[in-house]
Structure 1
Amino acid sequence: MTGLHQRLFRFCILLALALGFGTQASPAAETVRVGVLKFGTVNWELDTIKQHKLDEKHGVNVDVRFFASEDATNVAMMAGDVDIIVTDWLWVSRQRASGEDLTFVPYSSSVGALMVPDGSPIKSLADLKGKKIGVAGGPLDKSWLLMQGYAKHQFSLDLPAQSEIVYGTPPLLAEKAQQGELDAVLNFWNFCARLEANGFHRLVSTSDAAKALGATGDVSAIGYIFHDKWADAHPDAIAGFVKASRDAKALLRSSDEEWQRLASVVKAEGHELDVLRDRYRDGIPDRPIEDEQADAMKLYAILADLGGERLVGPGKTLAPGTFWRAD
């Protein structure tokens, strides 16, 4: 080995040592366990996070756990088997009123709507008197209660008393509507979008009803739910997850190609996929948390009046801390 080669060799060794001693290994990504329904729409965002490693970008590892029902995800959350689930702020407030420390980060303001077939003679809620209406979610469903409140406020119409109400699961009611067995159907937003792509249109959305009853904007219907204590103990984990969620939403808002990639997950294609994409984008939250909370407080009072203690529990107002603040 020549003198030049020896000097180069020693320089490389010294450089490697300097780099080795001068840097530290980055900390391992913290795992965040997220419990969701196996075929729920939240999976579209979570799939986007994992596909593009947006969780790794923000120092976390999102571990998706699938459950068969919303009740099962709630039980898993209360048992500590998952760190985050998705549900509504009404449930969070009820739990806080009972002593739990759950809190809510807005996920989506996409909501259901009363759908009627194209060409239907029904032009407003007033025309639903005496009609057969399918309602997903049961008698205490928030959208149904808000729709009742809107009908009374705007048209002095008592929908449960003056119409024929049929309760059922979202897919069953969507099928019955397409078969012409219902005059109108109030369904979850994604089933409404599929109906919209197949010969139906919105008569009035839950968001329209909420605004008529005092909301100043589109209120996030569902959000990511977790315990305050967990967030306090894992500040980097919750911050990283929220950032990954926002990045995924930004991609889903801007990229039509990403929706083509998701087609097999969404289980739609063509025009139906386009409508689902557009309705999802409509529901991406973009309001200050203070505005979300103020509107939720107004709607809570209305829902408490319409649904009573069976719906909201012992709390007469939205529980403090229901909406999470990063500070």
Structure 2
Amino acid sequence: MRLTRAVATLFALLFAIHLVPEARAQTDERPTIRVGVLKFGTVNWELDAMTRAGLDEKAGVDVELVPFAGENASAVALQAGSVDMIVSDWLWVSRLRAEGVDYTFVPYSTSVGSLMVSGDSEVRDLGGLKGKSIGVAGGPLDKNWLLIQALAKQNYGVDLAAENSVVYGAPPLLTEKARQGELDAVLNFWHYAARLEAEGFRTLVSGTDAAMEMGTSGPVASIGWVFRDSFAEEHPEAIAGFIAADRATKALLATSDEAWEELKPLMKAEDEKTFTTLRQRYREGIPARSGAEEMADTAKLYGLLAEIGGERLVGPATELAPGTYFDDGKNGS
């Protein structure tokens, strides 16, 4: 299956750079798209590989990176028009669309958080966590935490939030507490989980595992490129070029170990095992399904999250807002 994906992504690389109309190649002027990124976020890995390989230029667009210290700052910048695009999740996009804001979403990655335990832990399933200490990054309304709680109740009759000592905190702090044995399990973002995995921790259940056991047919991209419909309408070549460059870069990173070697300084991997684990988990998170499949499963997931998280999580809308996924005419492909 992995070989098939590698072959497919090679074809995608060759195909993607030709997605922008040929007329664009006949002019020296390329549209610029300003992308807001976290200073030390993993999105920088892809964008660095994109611009280093010149895949944005080949797709007829110039990508300008605008760094921010936190997600809130990048979201504010998007709302203020200081950037054209950021990475965020479809839940946020849907909630704002329900309020009349024209944000839309293109899948970026299916890599999600995982609930990790030490390699020698006696815990083998969610039922075994009863009475244990759990660290959770992202807060009590984190999507993965809600899904894992729902799965624990469904399969084991365990209320993880009520029957355990739950500690919410910043990802680096929780990672360190897990290393020191102060937590029996930790639910952390994918790259922190990958670093723990390289140190001998194991995955008890991931957010994707929980979502699929709760009804999705495959992995759902939890985060994506977010921009305004109005920007896409006013700058169609910029959006088409960026999406083409994104696909080409993912194809490159799915197949080229050499491209990853150039990213090592950005990744700050502690050792070679950590580096290869991060690379593998990133590759596994490259979306491989059609837009139609993604949207169908996201709608299922939204309904489930609306049920278990309530209005505090999703707002007043009980269904995924129409237009949450960007319609470029290829969503059914």
TM-score (norm. length: structure 1): 0.92
Q: Aligned equivalents of 1:245 and 1:174: distance in 2?
A: 30
* Cα distance in 2 between the residues matched to 1:39 and 1:55: 21
Alignment: residue pair count: 304
Give the secondary-structure state (helix, strand or coil) at the position aligned to 2:62.
strand
CA distance in 1, matches of 2:33, 2:284: 27
SS at match of 2:310: helix
Q: Deviations over 1:78-107 (max 9, x none)?
A: 111111000000000000000000000000
Q: What is the rounded CA distance, in whole Å, between the counterparts of 1:200 and 1:258 in structure 2?
A: 27
- Match in the other structure for 1:308: 310
For residue 320 of structure 1, what is the amino acid of its counterpart?
P
CA separation in 2, counterparts of 1:83 and 1:154? 43
Distance between the aligned counterparts of 2:155 and 2:106, measured in 1?
Answer: 32
State the secondary structure of the residue aligned to 2:266.
helix
- Aligned position for 1:167: 168
Q: CA deviation at 1:310?
A: 1.1
Superposed counterparts of 1:223-234, under 5 Å: 223-234=224-235
Q: In structure 2, the residue corresponding to 1:87 is in which secondary structure?
A: strand
Give the residue type in structure 2 aligned to 1:160.
Answer: A
Match for residue 85 of structure 1?
A: 86
Q: How does 1:17-56 map to 2 (within 5 A)?
A: 26-56=27-57
Q: After alignment, is 82-91 or 254-263 more displaced? A: 254-263
Alignment correspondent of 1:285: 287
SS of residue in 2 equivalent to 1:63: strand
1:218 aligns with 2:219: yes
Q: Which 10-residue stretch deviates more, 93-102 or 26-35?
A: 26-35
Question: Corresponding residue for 1:242?
Answer: 243
CA deviations 1:187-246 (Å, max 9, x no partner) are 000000000001201011110100011000000010000000100111110000001111
Letter aligned with residue 49 of structure 2: T
3-state SS of 1:324 partner:
coil
- Could you say which residue in structure 1 is the equivalent of 2:187? 186
Q: Distance in 2 between matches of 1:72 and 1:305?
A: 30
Deviation, 1:308, is 1.1
What is the rounded CA distance, in whole Å, between the counterparts of 1:306 and 1:78 in structure 2?
29
Q: Which runs of 5+ in 2 are unaligned?
A: 1-24
Measure the CA separation in 1 of the matches of 2:75 and 2:155: 36
Q: Distance in 2 between matches of 1:112 and 1:307?
A: 18
CA distance in 1, matches of 2:286, 2:56: 19
Provide the C-alpha distance between the structure 1 equivalents of 2:243 and 2:215, rounded to a whole number of angstroms: 29
> RMSD value over aligned CA atoms?
1.0
Counterpart Cα distance in 2 of 1:59 and 1:140: 40
Shift of residue 27, structure 1, vs aligned partner: 4.2
Percentage of matched positions with identical amino acids: 58
Q: CA deviation at 1:314?
A: 1.4
Say whether residues 1:95 and 2:96 are aligned partners. Answer: yes
Q: Larger Cα Rg: Structure 1 or Structure 2?
A: 1
1:108 aligns with 2:112: no
Q: 1:145 — aligned with what?
A: 146
Paired with 1:156 and 1:321, the residues of 2 have a C-alpha distance of 37
Q: TM-score, normalised to structure 2's length?
A: 0.90
Q: CA separation in 2, counterparts of 1:308 and 1:68?
A: 30
The answer for the alignment partner of 1:321 in structure 2 is 323
CA distance in 2, matches of 1:141, 1:216: 21
Q: State the Cα distance separating 1:271 from its structure 2 match.
A: 0.7
Whole-Å Cα distance in 2 between the matches of residues 91 and 154 of structure 1?
A: 29
Partner of 2:155: 154
Residue 105 of structure 2 corresponds to residue 117 of structure 1:
no
Find the residue that maps to 1:96 and give its secondary structure. helix
Question: Which residue matches 2:22?
Answer: none
Deviations 1:159-206 (A, max 9, x none): 001111000001100000000000000000000000000120101111
CA shift for structure 1 position 260: 1.2
Instruction: Specify the SS of the correspondent of 1:161.
Output: coil
Tell me the SS of whatever aligns to 1:284: coil
Give the AA of the match of 1:312.
Answer: V
AA in 2 matched with 1:241: F
Give runs of ≥4 in structure 1 deviating > 4 Å.
Answer: none
